């Protein structure tokens, strides 16, 4: 499948899109650092792939601890060619309770920035690399029950835009790919009205292809670009 192989680090590799990305990279001969809050959630990947799947417990809700953990894992791997910043949360919050809003912002905003910090400085030191961040089509528009999720993904996308511009001068060979998935069949997807749902495996294949082609932006699956354009035009309410 994918060419060439190298060393990747997938943050949030225990389920859904991240796990499928790790599995496909491992199947193509990559060595992959894989993270989760719990080591036991990574046992399956390690059992199937031996020492080419290198696990580490990292909680991005602890941004300073996560930064140290990611740096240590990148060093242990001997350098990272491909960073997949995938870990994230999405909570259906029908009553606008504070706890889910706070959790989503902590993980998807502060946690995401902490992951990005490590990937950026690592890539600058190497002078090359690919950084992929997982946003969402939700970035295009607020939703009454997931206000913090849409807001956090708008942050992810705009943050990556700035990071890409920073790296253009600091390390021109490093690429930054912003991926906006539509509805993907994972434990995170909770909408009854979901449509055009694809498997995590299909999504992972397209994420890896976009990263290897060093695309700046990718909707996954691609047809979600149409919905994204419509979402910007549709009236509220
Ligand atoms: N599924 C969709 O329809 C969809 C659509 C658009 C965007 N996305 C985005 O795609 C990404 C992956 O989501 P998914 O659908 O594959 O969900 P998922 O199956 O729930 O996977 C989430 C991953 O993130 C990790 N994670 C969550 N909170 C974490 C934390 N505080 N610290 C470290 N790791 C954490 C989880 O690991 P542990 O729980 O093992 O720690 C897991 O590996 C997310 O950024 C999500 O917003 C998903």
Residue 195 maps to which CATH number?
A: 3.40.50.720
- CB < 8 Å & 24+ apart, contacts of 51-57: 52/26, 53/22, 53/26
- What stretches in the chain show pLDDT beneath 50? 1-2
Question: Is residue 1 situated within a structural domain?
Answer: no
- Placement of tokens 């060393």 in the chain: 7
Number of domains in the chain: 1
- The answer to whether the beta carbons of residues 35 and 56 sit under 8 Å apart is yes
Residue nearest to atom 43 of ligand 1 (CA): 12
Task: Kindly give the distance from the C-alpha atom of residue 169 to the centroid of ligand 1, in angstroms, as a whole number.
Answer: 31
Q: What is the pLDDT of residue 12?
A: 98
Q: How many Cβ atoms are within 10 Å of 22's Cβ, its own excluded?
A: 28
Task: Kindly give the distance from the C-alpha atom of residue 163 to the centroid of ligand 1, in angstroms, as a whole number.
Answer: 22
Question: Is residue 185 situated within a structural domain?
Answer: yes
What are residue 30's phi and psi, to 5 degrees? -75, 155
Pocket of ligand 1 (CB under 6 A): 12-18, 36-38, 41, 58-61, 86-90, 107, 111, 134, 136, 181, 183-184, 186-189
Residue nearest to atom 24 of ligand 1 (CA): 87
DSSP letters for 190-226: --TT--S-EEHHHHHHHHHHHHHTT-SEEEESTTHHH
Question: Is residue 54 situated within a structural domain?
Answer: yes
- Give the domain range for residue 33: 7-233
Residue nearest to atom 35 of ligand 1 (CA): 87
Taking the model in full, what pTM does it have? 0.97
Q: What is the pLDDT of residue 192?
A: 82
The tens digit of pLDDT for each residue in 118-140 reads: 999 999 999 999 999 999 999 99
Q: What is the pLDDT of residue 2?
A: 47
Task: Kindly give the distance from the C-alpha atom of residue 126 to the centroid of ligand 1, in angstroms, as a whole number.
Answer: 28
Question: Is residue 43 situated within a structural domain?
Answer: yes
Ligand 1 atom nearest residue 135's Cα: 7
Spatial CB neighbours of 168, under 8 Å, sequence gap ≥ 6: none
- The answer to whether the beta carbons of residues 64 and 40 sit under 8 Å apart is no
Question: Is residue 125 situated within a structural domain?
Answer: yes
Pocket-testing residue among 53, 62, 88, ligand 1, by greatest number of atoms within 8 A of Cβ: 88
Question: Is residue 2 situated within a structural domain?
Answer: no
Q: What is the pLDDT of residue 45?
A: 98
Q: What is the pLDDT of residue 1?
A: 47
Pocket-testing residue among 11, 56, 87, 157, ligand 1, by greatest number of atoms within 8 A of Cβ: 87
Task: Kindly give the distance from the C-alpha atom of residue 77 to the centroid of ligand 1, in angstroms, as a whole number.
Answer: 23
Supply the residues annotated as catalytic.
149
Task: Kindly give the distance from the C-alpha atom of residue 36 to the centroid of ligand 1, in angstroms, as a whole number.
Answer: 10
């Amino acid at each position: 499948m994918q060419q060439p192989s190298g060393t990747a680090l997938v943050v949030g590799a225990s389920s859904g899109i991240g796990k499928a990305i790790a599995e496909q990279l491992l199947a193509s001969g990559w060595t992959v650092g894989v993270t989760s809050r719990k080591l036991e959630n990574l046992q399956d990947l390690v059992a199937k792939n031996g020492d080419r799947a290198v696990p580490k417990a990292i909680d991005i809700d602890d941004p300073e601890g996560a930064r140290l953990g990611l740096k240590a894992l990148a060093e242990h791997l001997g350098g990272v060619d491909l960073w997949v910043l995938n870990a994230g949360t999405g909570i259906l919050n029908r009553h606008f309770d504070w706890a889910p809003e706070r959790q989503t912002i902590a993980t998807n905003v502060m946690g995401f920035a902490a992951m990005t910090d490590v990937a950026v400085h690592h890539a600058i030191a190497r002078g090359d690399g690919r950084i992929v961040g997982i946003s969402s089509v939700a970035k295009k528009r607020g939703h009454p029950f997931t206000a913090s999720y849409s807001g956090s993904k708008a942050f992810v996308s705009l943050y990556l835009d700035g990071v890409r511009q920073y790296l253009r001068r600091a390390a021109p060979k490093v690429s930054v790919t912003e991926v906006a998935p539509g509805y993907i069949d994972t434990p995170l997807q909770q909408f009854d009205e979901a449509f055009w749902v694809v498997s995590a495996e299909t999504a992972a294949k397209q994420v890896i292809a976009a990263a290897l082609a060093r695309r700046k932006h990718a909707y996954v699956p691609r047809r979600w670009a149409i919905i994204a354009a419509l979402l910007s035009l549709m009236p509220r309410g």
